[in-house]
A and B are shown apart, each in its own frame.
Chain A
Amino acid sequence: MSDILLEIHDLHANVEGKEILKGVDLVIREGEVHAVMGPNGAGKSTLSAVLTGNPRYQVTSGSIRFRGEDLLALKPEERAWKGIFLSFQYPVEIPGVSITNFMKAALNAKRKAVGKGELSPAEYLSLMKEKMAFVGMGREFAKREVNVGFSGGEKKRNEVFQMAMLDPVLSILDETDSGMDVDALKTVAQGVNSLRSPEKSFIVITHYKRLLDYIVPDIVHVLKDGRIVKTAGRELVDQIENGGYASIG
């Protein structure tokens, strides 16, 4: 068996004083794709927010270890430098900042953190070009302001583009399928699938089966009322599709 990448133990978390996660346990190994499914309000998005250190959410007890290191002690950017990436359910608009400048700031901060020098403009541009082609974006895309005036599908595609640029170890896709038509979904899934490797792991958070037809998980969890109530193989997806969440747990 491959090495453990992420280990969540008895995790409790609040948002605005209300307990959302009520004791989550989860182990993710290198190269695995996990799906976290569950009804609305189960705590799926809270889990992604807590993993990435969103200050709006408070962890009240429990632990998260990433390659054995205490993740909760780290700031959001430090977690990003360790290789954790979140594809946001609602990507944020940053007016006036081009995607080119935004990614340059992100990449160079990470390189600095790991003791590498900044990329030269030429290196950076060729990387941008490669990854834009990878997610099927036109040239004008690089000049656009981050998420400003993007359609739902464009925003999600931009998230996958950033994922490709930052080359994370653990990618969390939070409801990436919401607000997307089938074609956009296929493009995104293709992008994600080609990033899969024995070293990289994914957490795919979704309410519906749809996305999991394209990104096929190794392990499926059902999160209900702040706890993981069932863990099984990919056959669990069909069980949910047929019987709904009421049939689980």
Chain B
Amino acid sequence: MDETLKDLTTQSYAQGFVTDVEQEFVPKGLNEEIIRTISRIKDEPQWLLDFRLDAFRKWQKMTQPDWGHLKLPPIDYQDIIYYAAPKKDKDRPKEIDPALMETFEKLGIPVGEREYLAGVKDRREVAVDAVFDSVSVSTTFRKTLSEKGIIFCSFSEAVHEHPDLVRKYLASVVPAGDNFFAALNSAVFSDGSFCYVPKGVECPMDLSSYFRINASGTGQFERTLIIADEGSRLSYMEGCTAPMRDENQLHAAVVEIIVEKDADVKYSTVQNWYPGDAQGRGGILNLVTKRGICRGSGAHLSWTQVETGSAITWKYPSTILKGDNSSSEFYSVALTNNWQQADTGTKMIHLGRNTRSRIISKGISAGHSENSYRGLVRIAPGADGARNYSQCDSLLIGSNCGAHTFPVIRNANPAATVEHEATTSRISEDKLFYCGQRGIPEEDAVGLIVNGYAQEVLQRLPMEFAIEARKLLQVSLEGSIG
């Protein structure tokens, strides 16, 4: 296969367009005044401004982490615009700009409810919070959801309409000073999604956030807070895209998930940020902190992620298993091609008794990319009967890429078991020949084999997401072999 290996090609990234819309910005750079300005634009209460400023002061004393297996380009934090929002029509402030509607429609994101009202029932209903640069432009099905007591809205609205909930849970899982990028996010976050499912309620439809970066020279710093109260159930999906540009753009998000007693949250991500071109120019720097806590007994949190985008991914969706008998899973497919770099994995912190976790990670490296799994499994002294199983597989396509596995296991309990396995393999010539003999061309065969390799993870995704993820895997592999 080496002879047929082609390094460079134009990778198709169908979401790489720019929307021409008039936007308002805060001035470039980061200082207390900028933070005050963002807070003022959003008409925030004093406590939230204080929270931001505290985070900013923490951030100023911190240094950017360099322990990832990544070559991070230098980031000039003073050269970024921290807030960009499409201008509202002064006469019709409640209406969504048709250009934005069009953008999300083009991306396949249903920002209107009309297609369902018109009786199109071949898709499952999904409520969407659509975030464009620094603001949420639309959240659908709010009324249907609120009938069940479910709150689903933009973060900014939640601050005004449900300040007690926001204040209670914000930074309760990811403290402002947790890490460099979380501190930055806490200082400058603009918008994101907020979700609260009350006691005993099963959310009647999947909820979803869609993040779109559009403006040049900006970063996106969204904040998502999800609370599943006792005995509730929720399936949440997240998607994201950005235009093709030669510059790197920063995306530093924080997601916090609180899962109370016997509640069940499934969080799925298909990450398709612009990965940069075949020469490694441009692309999103995706530096994200996602963490959930299973607070009560029997709580369950499941992470499923398919990562095909970003120039750089630095992301470790993690779970603190505090409640007895709580459980969590992390299912991940990370594909890197061309010059992409990914350092991703999870942390499972077992505090409660009989807590269970399972980690299935499938890395795929092609081109000149670097793909690392990094994980921590920690069993605290009190976590009697805790169990973890981890399986981390790497698939290499071509001989110019790297595939790495960096797990850490720390067990302080003699009544707990931790098992970790990792393998590295490539797509054997035997497999390709077998497919070829059946008439399947090489590029299709690679796609088929990679999809099969990732199947254990893909089957966890909600149906439509899974279809999208399969297509993405195929598209992202284009040019990995000739």
User: Chain A: residues with CB nearer than 8 A to chain B?
Assistant: 52-56, 75-77, 79-81, 85-86, 88, 91-92, 94-97, 101-103, 105-107, 109-110, 113, 145, 162, 166
Contacts and interface: CB of A to CB of B under 8 A. Distances in A.
B438 A166 contact: yes
A166 B430 contact: no
B51 interface: no
Interface in B387-446: 428-431, 433-442, 444
B438 A162 contact: yes
A55 B437 contact: no
Rank and list the top 6 A-B pairs by shortest CB-CB distance, nearest first.
A96-B452, A96-B455, A76-B436, A80-B439, A97-B452, A92-B434
A95 B391 CA distance: 15
Nearest to A162: B438
Contacts of A107: 439
Contact of B448 (A76, A80, A101): A101
Nearest to A92: B434
Given A54-B433, A95-B452, 6 more contacts: A55-B429, A77-B435, A94-B435, A105-B435, A106-B435, A106-B439
B25 interface: no
B288 interface: no
B482 to A, nearest CB: 12
Contacts of A79: 437
A109 B439 contact: yes
Interface residues of B, number: 23
Residue among A80, A97, A110 with most chain B CB within 10 A: A97
B452 A145 contact: yes
- SS class of chain B's interface: helix, strand, loop or mixed? helix
B425 to A, nearest CB: 10
B96 interface: no
Nearest to B458: A96
Contact of A97 (B428, B448, B456): B448
A56 B1 CA distance: 11
B453 A95 contact: yes
Interface of B: 428-431, 433-442, 444, 448-449, 451-456
Given A56-B429, A102-B448, A80 B434 contact: no
B115 to A, nearest CB: 24
A81 B428 CA distance: 22
A166 B436 CA distance: 13
A74 B266 CA distance: 48
Contact of A106 (B428, B431, B440, B455): B440
Given A55-B429, A56-B429, A94 B437 contact: no
B439 A166 contact: yes
B150 to A, nearest CB: 35
A54 B432 CA distance: 10
B445 to A, nearest CB: 8
A110 B439 contact: yes
A86 B437 contact: yes
Nearest to A84: B437
B439 A97 contact: no
Contacts of B429: 55-56
Contacts of B452: 94-97, 145
A154 to B, nearest CB: 16
A96 B438 contact: no
Contacts of B439: 77, 80-81, 106-107, 109-110, 113, 166
Given A56-B429, A109-B441, A97 B451 contact: yes
Residue among B437, B438, B444, B449 with most chain A CB within 10 A: B437
A110 B438 CA distance: 9
Given A94-B431, A95-B453, A96-B454, A105 B448 contact: yes
23 contacts: A52-B437, A75-B441, A77-B436, A77-B440, A79-B437, A80-B437, A92-B430, A94-B431, A94-B434, A94-B448, A95-B453, A95-B455, A96-B451, A96-B455, A97-B455, A103-B438, A105-B435, A105-B440, A105-B444, A106-B438, A107-B439, A109-B439, A166-B439
Contacts of A145: 452
B437 A96 contact: no
Contact of A77 (B441, B455, B456): B441
Nearest to B438: A106
Contacts of B437: 52-53, 76-77, 79-80, 85-86, 88
A56 B433 CA distance: 9
Nearest to B431: A92
B200 to A, nearest CB: 36
A54 B435 CA distance: 11
A86 B429 CA distance: 16
Nearest to B441: A77
A52 B435 CA distance: 12
A63 B285 CA distance: 54
A102 B455 CA distance: 14
Given A55-B433, A92-B430, A94-B431, A80 B451 contact: no
Contact of B453 (A52, A81, A96, A110): A96
Contacts of A76: 433, 436-437
A29 B444 CA distance: 33
Residue among A75, A81, A92, A96 with most chain B CB within 10 A: A96
Nearest to A80: B439
Nearest to A172: B437
B456 A96 contact: yes
Contacts of B449: 94, 97
A148 to B, nearest CB: 9
A109 B434 contact: no
Residue among B431, B438, B441 with most chain A CB within 10 A: B438
A80 B436 contact: yes
